[in-house]
Amino acid sequence: MDFELTEVQSELADGVRRLGEGQFRLDHLRTLESEGQVVDRQGWRQLGEAGVFNLCRPESEGGVGLGLAEAALVFEELGRALVPGPLVATHLAAGSVDGADDGSVVVGLLEADRTGDRAALPLIVEGLDDLDVLMVLSDDGVTAIDPAAVDATRLQRPMDPLTPVWAIPSPSTLPRGTPVAGPDVAARWRRDGAVLTAALQVGAATWVTDLAVEYAKQRRQFGRPIGGFQAVKHLCADMAVRAEVARCAVHAAAVTADQPDVGDAASAAAGAKLLADEAAIANGRSCIQVHGGMGFTWEVPAHLAYKRARVLATRFGTDDQLAEQLALSIPVPTGDVR
């Protein structure tokens, strides 16, 4: 048992971090704020060349042949860079949708049945204008539909300026689409999608911790850096703890998916997503708090991470759904159950 990153894994993560710092610089991303299209096609192809989408595809089928563990490390770095667009969906679609694996096609995903129990809530689809293919995921399986055929209204003030959104007035208006995969694949996509989305959240949770710590070191009030005050220092410490605990959960979930004999991969994925969502949201909020009044400005990027965390928390299971799933997975001592 060795739960540390291998040298190859560390190098992979470093490589993606460099790609993020080069191709997806924040000042560049910010020029796309509030646009209808946020996917830079050239950047997307570069992600494809770097193996982001075909990482888990077998080498015999042109993939990199690595596991979900490596994918989680890669997505952590993409999350750290706040790379916009349907990264997880395109990764999942590699092998099922032509062109997804090399980044020549942008594939979105809609979980059609996850709001079904709240009939008043419309379906919200992200980034429709960027998509070549929209996949619809339900317990029955996956279908692919033409994004242009979706009857949807673009919402004018998206919460995350880098996640444009459309409302679909009624799920019944969705085109039927062509079947891509059955229930088994759908279940696996839900699990892997949760792990990779959680990895994005951990990356963002770590990035805002760094941002808050940097600011706390240089911002001076009452004659000293504010990071010297316990009130601020402890906020930062809690951010670091949340990010690290969630990171371990995400890594364990990914490894468990790759090595099914070591545990219950579905529960591990649910737990990882639950804690990573919380870490990203709480750390985003704390980062704004550490920045004080400036944190509430559009200019300081803390809000971008906080808003993105909120977006990602709605995908592949909300906190309530995940906690419910986990509750039912707790082993109960026999004999004590009525």
Partner 1 sequence: MDLRYTDAEQAFRGELRHWLATTLPGLPPKPAPTDWPGRRAYDTHWQRLLFDAGYAGVDWPVEGGGRGSSPVEELVFKEELERAHAPYVGVNFVGLLHAGPTIIAEGTPEQRQRYLPAILNGDEVWCQGFSEPDAGSDLASMRTRAVRDGDHYVVTGSKIWTSHAEVADHCELLVRTGEDDSRHRGISWLILPMDTPGVEIRPLTTIAGSTEFAELFLDEVRVPVANRVGDENDGWRVTMVTLSFERGTAFVGDLLEAFELLSATVALARRTGAWDDAGIRRQAGHLRAELDALWALTKRNVSQAARTGIPGVGGTFFKLAYTETRSKLGEYSLSLLGRAALAADDVEGADGLGPLPSATMVEDWLRGISLTIAAGTSQIQRNIVGERILGLPKEPSGPPKPAAARVPS
Instruction: Name the site residues for partner 1 (rule: CB under 8 A).
Output: 1-6, 9, 69, 209, 213, 216-217, 224-225, 227-228, 230, 233-234, 236-238, 240-241, 244-246, 248-249, 251-252, 254-256, 259, 261-263, 267-268, 270-272, 274-275, 319-320, 322-333, 336-338
We find the least distance from the C-beta atom of residue 118 to partner 1, in angstroms, to be: 14
Closest to partner 1 by CB, 131 vs 236, is: 236
Phi, psi dihedral angles at 148 (to 5 degrees): -70, -20
Closest to partner 1 by CB, 124 vs 248, is: 248
CB atoms within 10 A of CB 307: 18
Write out the two tokens for 41.
């096609």
Closest to partner 1 by CB, 125 vs 268, is: 268
We find the least distance from the C-beta atom of residue 185 to partner 1, in angstroms, to be: 25
Cβ pair 297, 267 in contact under 8 A: no
We find the least distance from the C-beta atom of residue 224 to partner 1, in angstroms, to be: 7
We find the least distance from the C-beta atom of residue 113 to partner 1, in angstroms, to be: 19
Closest to partner 1 by CB, 7 vs 299, is: 7
We find the least distance from the C-beta atom of residue 275 to partner 1, in angstroms, to be: 5
We find the least distance from the C-beta atom of residue 2 to partner 1, in angstroms, to be: 5
We find the least distance from the C-beta atom of residue 331 to partner 1, in angstroms, to be: 6
Closest to partner 1 by CB, 69 vs 83, is: 69
Closest to partner 1 by CB, 39 vs 309, is: 309
Cα radius of gyration rounded to whole Å, the chain? 20
CA distance 181 to 40: 28
Residue written as tokens 């890669």? 74
User: How many angstroms from the chain centroid is the CA of residue 114?
Assistant: 17
Closest to partner 1 by CB, 185 vs 248, is: 248
CA distance 88 to 91: 5
CA distance 104 to 46: 9
CA distance 90 to 85: 9
Write out the two tokens for 294.
């400036």
**Residue 99 falls in which region: left (phi positive, over 0), alpha (psi -120 to 50) or beta:** left
CA distance 137 to 307: 24
